[in-house]
Amino acid sequence: MGAQPENVIWEPSERWVRGTKGDVTVVDSRRPILVWEPGRPVPLYAFPEQDVRTDLLRKAARPPTGRHAGSTVFYDLEIDGEVTGNAAWSYPGDELAGYISFEWFGRDVLDHWYEEEAEIFVHPRDPHKRVDAIPSSRHVQVEINGTVVADTRAPVLLFETQLPTRYYIPREDIRFGLLTPTGLRTQCPYKGTATEYWSWAGPGDAAANVAWSYPDPLPAVREIKGLIAFYNEAVDIILDGERLERPVSPFSELFS
């Protein structure tokens, strides 16, 4: 592991990583590195220049400032006349000289990313992070505005490093008459695609999209398939008769 100026941390990865846009493979690397920038909770990939279609990159016409640990060299991506501004960048300093990283989280610069033959979403999976879905017999109740919307003794507890425990509840233990579907769809690199979300439909005001489900989760968390979880940050969880404090997490800003 090495250190860059401004506390950038990196380590090599042995995963085969590819990124594509349309029919074009822009990145194809068997020697990527994972980079952690200060203030970012998730890693990014960076790739040796030789593993990137640098012929598709141009010095950015309008490079941003103050992004990606002081990088001053940004690149636009041009494929078949279509230009994606500030799609990639290189880091300052000697240790990461010759590496290029691509925007990913929150921007669809490339259409698909793969580790080996598995497609990955949102951001690279952190090798120092665990996600464990464990069936339990604990008594879990969920209240919204003082009304019980879920009550189960057969939850699956999902433990994810640096995030609150999530309580996934069987559908038969949910009062769906108090919820309304919203059609929101999100992706997670560890759990897959959540294609079902619900908002509160009972008395009083409550935050939108407070509950979700993964109908077809990734194999590592198959125990949560079809179960319903609620944002602890926006509802009240009673665990074995004890009312839990609402946690503060990166998701809290969704409900502020």
pTM (global) more than 0.95: no
Q: Copy the structure tokens of residue 161.
A: 């490093």
Query: Buried (b) or exposed (e) across 111-120, using 16+ Cβ within 10 A?
Result: eebbbeeeeb
- State residue 104's pLDDT score: 85
Question: Residue 226: CB partners within 8 Å, gap ≥ 6?
Answer: 171, 213, 214, 215
Residue range 131-255 forms a domain whose CATH class is mainly beta
Sheet holding 24-29, edge to edge: 24-29, 17-21, 112-115, 118-120
- State residue 2's pLDDT score: 44
Every domain of the chain and the residues it spans: 2-120, 131-255
Pairwise CA distance, residues 179 & 203, whole Å: 11
Profile the chain (256 residues) by mean pLDDT over runs of 10 residues. 64 96 97 90 93 97 78 90 94 88 84 94 92 98 97 98 96 97 94 96 91 96 98 97 95 86
Tell me the one-letter amino acid at 212: W
pLDDT in tens, 72-101: 789 999 999 999 999 999 988 888 989 999
- State residue 6's pLDDT score: 61
2-120 and 131-255: identical CATH topology: yes
- State residue 20's pLDDT score: 96
Pairwise CA distance, residues 81 & 100, whole Å: 22
- State residue 67's pLDDT score: 76
Write the CA distances from 148 to 151, 179, 182, integer angstroms: 7, 12, 20
- State residue 3's pLDDT score: 43
Residue range 2-120 forms a domain whose CATH class is mainly beta
* Phi, psi of 49, deg, nearest 5: -55, -35
